[in-house]
Structure 1
């Protein structure tokens, strides 16, 4: 088993890049809300390093949701999921590596720019982390 071919089975990749963007927006909102809920439990100290808290919460959120369903909650709402090079769902190790790649891309701006360009122009809508790991986002209903 392997990833669907974007030429013979384009339904798996149709509109994936735009769905990934909207899923990302949803995920940022979810992570921000979870982070806001945590702040009072730190005696509001976390308010002073809120972006760092969001980074930690976001990392854990992505690893857990990708490992348990191969999609974040935002991706699930947009009906997409990440599959590995064999077309299988991500396991914990792959979810961890995918999240590390995602976070590195966000901390190094040129890498994020390359990732966005790849998502918008590649047949499979793969970002930089996807290309490196051999993963791809696909439509769940396809």
Structure 2
């Protein structure tokens, strides 16, 4: 299975950048809630390194959900998923690499800005990490058409 061509099968890419933004917001809330649940188990000492806790919890959440379904909970809510260059769902290695690329992009504002512009302007709505890995975000429902 190859990746869908955006010119021939545009339904796969319709509204994907907007859905990515909304999925990102949902995933941020899920990560924040997970951090709040973890906080008491650290006897609230994690409050002193909360950004690091958020980063680690978010990394694990994103990597595990991508490896087990090619989409985070937020992505699933908005019916989008990541695919590898050959069109198959992400495996554990690709999920790790994508999560690492995403984390590096978030840590460096210029990279995040470049990624956002790329998602908004490329035919397939790919961000910087997607371009490096060859991954693509597609609409899940379009697959059944």
TM-score when normalising by structure 1: 0.99
1:35 aligned residue? 35
Q: 3-state DSSP class of the match of 1:29? A: helix
Q: Distance in 1 between matches of 2:47 and 2:114?
A: 32
User: Which of structure 1's runs of 4+ aligned residues deviate more than 2 A?
Assistant: none
Query: For 2:109 and 2:132, how far apart are their aligned partners in 1?
Result: 17
Unaligned runs of 5+ in 2: none
Matched, 1:21 2:24: no
Structure 2 residue aligned with 1:100: 100
Secondary structure (helix, strand or coil) at the match of 2:138 reads strand
- Partner in structure 1 of residue 70 of structure 2: 70
Q: How many residues align?
A: 142
What is the root-mean-square deviation in Å for CA atoms of aligned residues?
0.4
By how many angstroms is 1:140 displaced? 0.1
Distance 1:51 1:19 in 2: 25
What's the offset of the Cα at 1:66? 0.1
Give a deviation string over 1:64-109, Cα, whole Å, max 9, x none: 0000000000000000000000110000000000000000001111
